[in-house]
Amino acid sequence: MAKKSSVVGIVGLGTVGEALLALVRSAGYDVIGVDSELDVLARVDQRMKTADAESGAESGEGQGSWTLTNEVAELGAAAVVIEAVPDEPSVKIDLLRRLNSVCLDRTVLVSTASSVSFTGLAIASGRPARTLGLRFVRPPAPGTAVEPVRTAMSCDDAIAALDALVADSGLAVKPLGARVGDDATALVYAYLNRAVAMVEAGHADQESVDTAMRLGCGLPAGPLETVDQVGLGTVHAKLLALHASTGDAAYRPAPLLTAMVEAGLEGRAGGQGFYAYDALGRPEGARHAVASAPVDCAVQRVGVIGSGTMARGIAEVTASAGLPTVLVARGRAKADLALAAVESSLAKSVARGRRTTEAMASALALLTASDDCAAVADCNVVIEATAEELDVKRAVFATLGGVCRPGALLATITSSLSVTACAEASGRDHDVLGLHFFNPAPVMKLVEVVRAPRTGDQALSTANAFCAALGKTTVPCRGPGGVHRELPALPLSRRRDPAFGPP
C-alpha cells in the first residue's frame, strides 16, 4: 500500500475510533488521534507501539504515521476528520462546530452517528456541504460493511474524498439505509442483551454461548465477544435508549450488564469485560478451540436409531470417524434407502475434494443397516434420531433400556422435548443425556450436550470424549434450557426440561 500525502483525524478513540485509527493508518494515511481522556490515549498508544514492535512495521513501509493528542486544535490541517464520540446529538454537534472553527475550509468532516440525523448534523456543523457520514452495523475491520452517507447538500469533492478513504481502508460499501440500519441495530442489541441474560441465569457460560452461536449459526463472533468489542458502556446506553423509546422488555439491560458497567468494565477497549484482553486488545487464553485430532473415547461401536436426515448425517459422521456404526430404521426398505443416501452424500464429498475415494470406501465398510433394534445390543453409544414426538421417543428409549448393554450411553438429539422424559422411559436415567447435533451433521462442528438431572458422570464423560473423537466442539446446555420468554431466544434457549422447573 503506497503511503498517502493526506492527513486524517479521528476524534474519539473508543471501540470505533481506535479501529478506524488502525485501518486508516494501515491504508497509508498519516493519522492524528484525539481523545479527551488521558488514560484512553495511553492505552491506544501502548497498543499501537506494541503492534508495531511485534510486526516490525514502520511508517515508511506503506503505513502512515500516527500521533495522539487531547487537543482538537491539532487537526487544523487534516484533509478529513472523522468523529467517533458518543451517539448523543449535543455531544456530536458541539464537536462538529469546534472542528468547523479550527479546520481548513476544504477539510471534510465525517460523523459515525447511528441514531442521529446526518442532515441535521451537517446543518449544525456550519459546513453542510462538507459534512458527511459513515454508517456501521458493527465496529469497523477489514471487509466490514459500511455505508458512506451523503446529504442533499454534500459537494462532489467531499463525497469523492470520503469514498477514496473508505476504499483505501478496505471497508466494504453496502447500502444499509437509515431504517434498515435502525432495525438491524435493534435486533442485534436485543440478541446481545438476551445472551447476557442467559449467562447471568446460569444456563451456559459465556464461552459456551459464544461457541454455540459461532459454530451453530456461522457467525464471525459470539454475542459476548461482540459486547466486548462494541464496549459494555455503549451497549448498555443503546439498550437504555431503545427501552425508553419502545418500552419493549427485550431492551431492558440485563442486570449483569448494568453491574459490569457500574464496576467500570469497558470490554476490549479497557482490557476487561466478559473476557480479558492483552495490550493489543487480543483475548487472553485459548479460545475457539476445536478438536483437531481423534481422541480415544473407548467407544467401539455406535448405533443410530432413525433413517431421516439427521440420523443419516450422524451415521455418516461416526462411520467417517472410523467407528463401526449400525443404523436402525423402521423396515428393511427404509434401512436400504438410508444406506444409499449416506453413500450418495459421501460421493458428493469426494467429488468436491473434501475426502478421498479410499476414505469413502472405508466409511461405507464400517456402516451397516438393520430394521431390528436388537442390532444395537453390543453398541457403546446409541443415538436416537427419530421423529420429534415424545411418545415415539419414549417408546424407543423403553426398547433401548431393555436391549442395550449395561453402561452404554443412550442419547437423544431432541431440540425441543424433555430429555428427562426420554431417560425415565429407558429405566436407566443415569445413562441418558441429550446430544443435539446441528444440521447438516457432517458439516456443522457444534454439538450441544444436555445433561438431565440424573445423568451420571460417566455418561457425560463418555459423551464429551465421543464428540471430540468425531472432531466436534461441545457446549454444555442445562437441562435443556429455561428462558425468559419475553426475550428473543437463542438456539441454546429453545429446549426446556420440566424437571428443572420454571426459569
Q: Check residue 491 and give its pLDDT.
A: 35
Q: What is the DSSP letter of 283?
A: B
Q: Check residue 285 and give its pLDDT.
A: 59
Exposed / middle / buried, residue 258 (Cβ in 10 Å: 0-12, 13-18, 19+): middle
Number of domains composing the chain: 3
96 and 157, same structural domain? Answer: yes
Q: Could you give the CA distance from residue 275 to residue 98 in angstroms, rounded to a whole number?
A: 37
Q: Which residues of 21-59 are buried (b: 16+ CB within 10 A; e: fewer)?
A: bbbbbbbbbbbbbbbeeeebbebbeebbeeeeeeeeeee
2 alpha carbon, distance to own chain's centre: 34
104 and 58, same structural domain? Answer: yes
Q: Check residue 256 and give its pLDDT.
A: 92
Q: Check residue 170 and give its pLDDT.
A: 92
Query: With a cut of 70, which residues of the chain have pLDDT below it?
Result: 1-3, 56-61, 176-182, 184, 285-297, 478-503
400 and 367, same structural domain? Answer: yes
Number of neighbouring beta carbons within 10 Å of residue 424: 19
468 and 420, same structural domain? Answer: yes
**Residue pLDDT, tens place only, 21-63:** 999 999 999 999 999 999 899 989 988 998 888 876 554 467 8
429 and 353, same structural domain? Answer: yes
Q: Check residue 419 and give its pLDDT.
A: 94
Q: Check residue 182 and give its pLDDT.
A: 67
Q: Could you give the CA distance from residue 273 to residue 83 in angstroms, rounded to a whole number?
A: 25
Q: Could you give the CA distance from residue 481 to residue 399 in angstroms, rounded to a whole number?
A: 27
Q: Could you give the CA distance from residue 478 to residue 497 in angstroms, rounded to a whole number?
A: 9
The string of DSSP letters for 435-495 reads: EEEPSSTTT--EEEEEE-TT--HHHHHHHHHHHHHTTPEEEEEESSB---TTSPPPGGGSB
Among residues 173, 199, 231, the one where a domain terminates is: 173
Is residue 248 domain-resident?
yes
- Residue 192 maps to which CATH number? 1.10.1040.10
Q: Check residue 1 and give its pLDDT.
A: 55
Is residue 284 domain-resident?
no
Q: Could you give the CA distance from residue 6 to residue 157 in angstroms, rounded to a whole number?
A: 14
Residue 433 cell numbers, joined: 443425556
247 and 158, same structural domain? Answer: no
330 and 241, same structural domain? Answer: no
205 and 130, same structural domain? Answer: no
Is residue 415 domain-resident?
yes
Is residue 249 domain-resident?
yes
Is residue 157 domain-resident?
yes
- Residue 72 maps to which CATH number? 3.40.50.720
190 and 107, same structural domain? Answer: no
Is residue 464 domain-resident?
yes
Is residue 188 domain-resident?
yes
Q: Give 432's strand partners.
A: 410
27 and 161, same structural domain? Answer: yes
Overall pTM surpassing 0.75 (yes/no): no
Could you list the residue range(s) of the whole structural domain that residue 130 is in? 7-173
Q: Check residue 176 and give its pLDDT.
A: 64
Among residues 107, 139, 173, the one where a domain terminates is: 173
374 and 309, same structural domain? Answer: yes
**3-class DSSP string for 63-121:** CCCEEEECCHHHHCCCCEEEECCCCCHHHHHHHHHHHHHHCCCCCEEEECCCCCCHHHH
Q: Check residue 154 and give its pLDDT.
A: 94
Q: Check residue 398 and give its pLDDT.
A: 96
First-to-last C-alpha distance (Å) of the chain: 54
Residue 105 cell numbers, joined: 475550509
Number of neighbouring beta carbons within 10 Å of residue 261: 20
Q: Could you give the CA distance from residue 34 to residue 12 in angstroms, rounded to a whole number?
A: 6
Q: Check residue 497 and give its pLDDT.
A: 36
Among residues 146, 173, 200, the one where a domain terminates is: 173
Is residue 17 domain-resident?
yes
Give the dihedral sign, CA 360/365/366/372. Answer: positive
149 and 18, same structural domain? Answer: yes
